[in-house]
Amino acid sequence: MMLQESNRIGRIAMLFALADAGETLTTPLPNGWRYCTGKVGSMNSQKIVAAMETAAKSSHIIETDVYRETHALYHAIMEALYGVTRGQVQLGDVLRTVGLRFAIVRGNPYDRKQEGDWLAVALYGTIGAPVRGSEHEAIGLGINHI
Amino acid sequence: MMLQESNRIGRIAMLFALADAGETLTTPLPNGWRYCTGKVGSMNSQKIVAAMETAAKSSHIIETDVYRETHALYHAIMEALYGVTRGQVQLGDVLRTVGLRFAIVRGNPYDRKQEGDWLAVALYGTIGAPVRGSEHEAIGLGINHI
Amino acid sequence: MMLQESNRIGRIAMLFALADAGETLTTPLPNGWRYCTGKVGSMNSQKIVAAMETAAKSSHIIETDVYRETHALYHAIMEALYGVTRGQVQLGDVLRTVGLRFAIVRGNPYDRKQEGDWLAVALYGTIGAPVRGSEHEAIGLGINHI
Amino acid sequence: MMLQESNRIGRIAMLFALADAGETLTTPLPNGWRYCTGKVGSMNSQKIVAAMETAAKSSHIIETDVYRETHALYHAIMEALYGVTRGQVQLGDVLRTVGLRFAIVRGNPYDRKQEGDWLAVALYGTIGAPVRGSEHEAIGLGINHI
Amino acid sequence: MMLQESNRIGRIAMLFALADAGETLTTPLPNGWRYCTGKVGSMNSQKIVAAMETAAKSSHIIETDVYRETHALYHAIMEALYGVTRGQVQLGDVLRTVGLRFAIVRGNPYDRKQEGDWLAVALYGTIGAPVRGSEHEAIGLGINHI
Amino acid sequence: MMLQESNRIGRIAMLFALADAGETLTTPLPNGWRYCTGKVGSMNSQKIVAAMETAAKSSHIIETDVYRETHALYHAIMEALYGVTRGQVQLGDVLRTVGLRFAIVRGNPYDRKQEGDWLAVALYGTIGAPVRGSEHEAIGLGINHI
Ligand SMILES: [Mg+2]
Ligand SMILES: [Mg+2]
Ligand SMILES: [Mg+2]
Ligand SMILES: [Mg+2]
Ligand SMILES: [Mg+2]
Ligand SMILES: [Mg+2]
């Protein structure tokens, strides 16, 4: 439904992250694009970062042994975390925890070929006190060239 | 399609902000909820904040002459801007500009009545150099009780 | 002595936090206002947050099982910590520790009834190296509607 | 009333900043200590910094032509502004304005002579939308050796 | 003298930025690497960013009409500015000005060819009050894949 | 080679930090200046701070039992860490580690005697994932009066 213009990589990643179990995007991914999704919950920000890096590598979104790809992903993850944490990239240190769905999409969102591949990291979930129900939603998006 | 669980206020606001012209959400808003949407583009962060405050007031999402409502909105806007700016809430000062769609939703996303109304401010658009095409997508979400 | 205008909630909270043992404020709290005070010292920022949340709940400043109240308090605490930490909300991670007195006050500081209750969280104490005497004073204040 | 222990420079500065017109501190300043107070209101953070620097120089709290003294004051002012702004040292850029009383105190708050002079910069006032009444209190304290 | 290992791009860029007029690096740049240097002084952070972007484009360090190259440079510049500003990427807004030499170097600092080109942006100069002599040195380095 | 003007304390400290084993600066330190250098690697930011404080004290760059000296050093270290971390002074919490050389220099970089001693803390090394080779260079400089 939502995806008319098919190459907006951040929007696509966010729709994946927002999608509930069983929902599917109504527009196919552009040719040659790759993505993965996953879930992670923790008070430990290190684990959040690690879960996304592991997913991206095991899904072959990025090449494990090429540092520039890891570097591109790392900064996209950090930028997405700014949106989720809104001020200080801290979770347990300030007594809060997150439960997140993430989507990582790789492709060229621009018309011209020389723009190459880009990464979008989208996060959607909840943030709050480590008490069931004491939480509200949070969202983040990071975009980087790769 | 996407909205199975109807009271996730942040997700609803983000889907509004992501919606292209002519798209409509497939699930109705919960009873009594209100929202507005709009567009704003500027290098001037002050104008971005003002555009959302004006829209929320003229659409009667918040009461103009009750400070607690303005205060709740202001902090939700600032939290959404963290996601868009990812590190420093600055635009022109660091030579970048944004073109954003915004959605502001008001309602009680929790089961219990005493949680009262909450606000979600969602931003979706582009950020980049003040040169056509030198930009990528950006997203932000702020949630606050009101 | 200091409180001529009786409804400045932040000033009242700060005077409570600054008060030494045995000192009392010379002006009574406005009718219906509630407050608590306490002390906490730690290198662990999580413990600082937890001590204030626990005090506010056990003193019935906020209602334990209403999330909007916990949410209001949490953000007021975080804002107060910005003043204490001045740049990064970190303690032990950057090898420093705090010893703080805190005061949490709840009431309506505005003339009009519909502004409802607000919270002020005031912190006063010392911050420094984990070595006796290697420290200076620090202060923070967070204000939020509830 | 409040000052039992006479050399807590941050507490003294904050009590000066909190004092209403006509109020006086009940305990004298330690011998040889100097202070000044003032008021400044602006959406322009540059003007806030300048007002305090000018006051400190014209009141001979710091020596105008010794850079180390200006440097010490500058960082104390910046630390105080963190408390007032709580996240981003920005005012008009994020559509808010402040009205502040400030106090700058100079003296040696430690027992040992070789600790030399220190500076405390205390800020107390309101922050909010550029609309009368749409504001709440804010406080900041910066401490530095000089 | 200093450059034994010839491919440390950040170190090379910093040595260029530190070099006084007439000084030359004693080790040649690796084959195929490009660089430019320049100077910029301003209270206006926008001008600092613009000066480096202009220099990099006019010196053909990056391709003007490929956004991914502009994007890589922009983030490297922003990272370098974090080092110079140490907390808030603001200059005139907090009443300070900078006088900077910059060096931008492009090349592959890694052994393996598939790491491709990287950018280093190095800044060296002074930061301080807009008064001659009221300033101290500041340094920043940003590194990004391109 | 590089040091023509002999009293630029930040530049000297950075050249020390950039120097490889066996390299020496071609210009002597100004009379009466002191410095130390060292290495530290960790995911734990607390250890980074502690290593520099310990080195400065054991090398008699600062006086161990004078708090104003510890305070001056602490803030110079924190400012240097802003350059290395570029946004959030966090290492392991965001799944990254550093390997750094540091140099701490003490002296008066100004013409006039009353400016007294200043400290420069320079950091040079790598930052990245806790995987060999997945890292790039990072630099930071902090300057403070003492
Ligand atoms: Mg970007
Ligand atoms: Mg919240
Ligand atoms: Mg507020
Ligand atoms: Mg300090
Ligand atoms: Mg990097
Ligand atoms: Mg400084």
Q: What is the pLDDT of residue D5?
A: 62
- Residue E22: CB partners within 8 Å, gap ≥ 6? none
- The answer to whether residue C42 neighbours chain A at the CB level (below 8 Å) is no
Contact B134 E71 (CB under 8 A): yes
Structure tokens belonging to residue C69: 């109240």
Contact yes or no for E143/E76 (Cβ under 8 A): yes
- Name the residue among C130, C27, C14 with its Cα closest to residue C83: C14
**Distance from Cα F4 to the centre of ligand 5, integer Å:** 33
**Nearest by Cα to A9 from C124, E68, F91, B86:** E68
User: D-contacting residues of E 53-92, CB under 8 Å?
Assistant: 87-88, 90, 92
Q: How confident is the model at residue B5 (pLDDT cuts 50, 70, 90)?
A: low
Strand-strand pairing, B135-145 and B118-128 = antiparallel
Question: What pLDDT does residue C92 have?
Answer: 95
- Chains touching chain B through at least 3 C-beta pairs below 8 angstroms are A, C, D, E
Summarize the confidence of residues D123-139 as an average pLDDT: 96
Could you tell me the pLDDT band of residue C69, with boundaries at 50, 70 and 90?
A: very high
Q: Based on the number of CB atoms within 10 Å of its own CB, is A42 exposed (0-12), middle (13-18) or buried (19 or more)?
A: middle
Contact F36, F62 (CB under 8 A): no
- Residue numbers of chain A with a pLDDT score lower than 50: 1-4
Question: Cα(F3) to centroid of ligand 6, in Å?
Answer: 23
From C9, C144, C32, select the one nearest C79 (Cα to Cα). Answer: C144
Band (C5; pLDDT cuts 50, 70, 90): low
Question: Given CA atoms C15, C17, C21, C27 in this order, what sign does their dihedral have?
Answer: positive
Single-letter amino acid code for the residue at F83: G
* Nearest C-alpha in D relative to F73: D145
**Residue of B134, B135, B136, B137 to mutate, testing the E interface (most E Cβ within 10 Å of its Cβ):** B134
| pLDDT the model gives residue E4 | 40
* Chains in contact with E via at least 3 Cβ–Cβ pairs below 8 Å: A, B, D, F
Which residue shows structure tokens 């002519």?
Answer: B22
Structure tokens at C106: 């709840």
CA of C72, nearest ligand number:
2
pLDDT tens digits, residue range C109-144? 999 999 999 999 999 999 999 998 999 999 999 999
How many angstroms separate the first and last alpha carbons of chain A?
Answer: 29
> CB–CB of B94 and E88 under 8 A?
no
Please say if the pLDDT value at position F86 is more than 80: yes
Per-residue pLDDT of D14-45, as tens digits, reads 999 999 988 887 778 999 999 999 999 999 99
Average pLDDT for residues F133-138, to the nearest whole number? 96
Amino acid at A85: T
Is the dihedral angle over the CA atoms B74, B78, B80, B81 positive or is it negative? positive
Cβ within 8 Å, pair D115-F67: yes
pLDDT in tens, chain E (146 residues): 333 467 999 999 999 999 998 888 777 899 999 999 999 999 999 999 999 999 999 999 999 999 999 999 999 999 999 999 999 999 999 999 999 999 999 999 999 999 999 999 999 999 999 998 999 999 999 999 99
Residue B2: is its pLDDT beyond 60? no
**Model confidence at B1, in pLDDT bands (50, 70, 90)?**
very low
Q: Which long-range contacts (CB under 8 A, 24 or more apart) does E123-126 make?
A: E123/E17, E123/E80, E123/E81, E123/E83, E123/E84, E124/E14, E124/E17, E124/E18, E124/E100, E124/F11, E124/F14, E125/E41, E125/E84, E125/E98, E125/E99, E125/E100, E125/E101, E126/E98, E126/E99, E126/E100
Q: What φ, ψ does residue A126 adopt, rounded to 5°? A: -125, 155
Phi/psi-derived region of residue F73, left when phi > 0, alpha when psi is between -120 and 50, beta in every other case: alpha
Residue F81 Cα distances to E61, F98, F124, angstroms: 29, 11, 10
Q: Please, which residues have CB within 8 angstroms of residue B24's CB and are 6 or more apart in sequence?
A: none
Contacts of E62 (CB under 8 A, 6+ apart): E56, E69, E70, E72, E73, E106, E119, E146
* CA-based nearest distance C105→chain B, Å: 17
Tokens 């080790």 identify what position? Answer: E27
Which of F68, F119, F144 to mutate: most D Cβ within 10 Å?
Answer: F68
Tell me, what's the pLDDT at F5?
61
Ligand nearest to the CA of F136: 5
Ligand nearest to the CA of A80: 1
Dist. CA D109–CA D96, nearest whole Å:
35
Between C41 and C22, whose confidence is greater? C41
User: What is the four-CA torsion angle of A12, A14, A16, A17, rounded to 10 degrees?
Assistant: 170
> What does pLDDT average to over chain B?
94
Q: Point out the residue among E68, E112, E115 whose CB comes nearest to the CB of A145.
A: E68
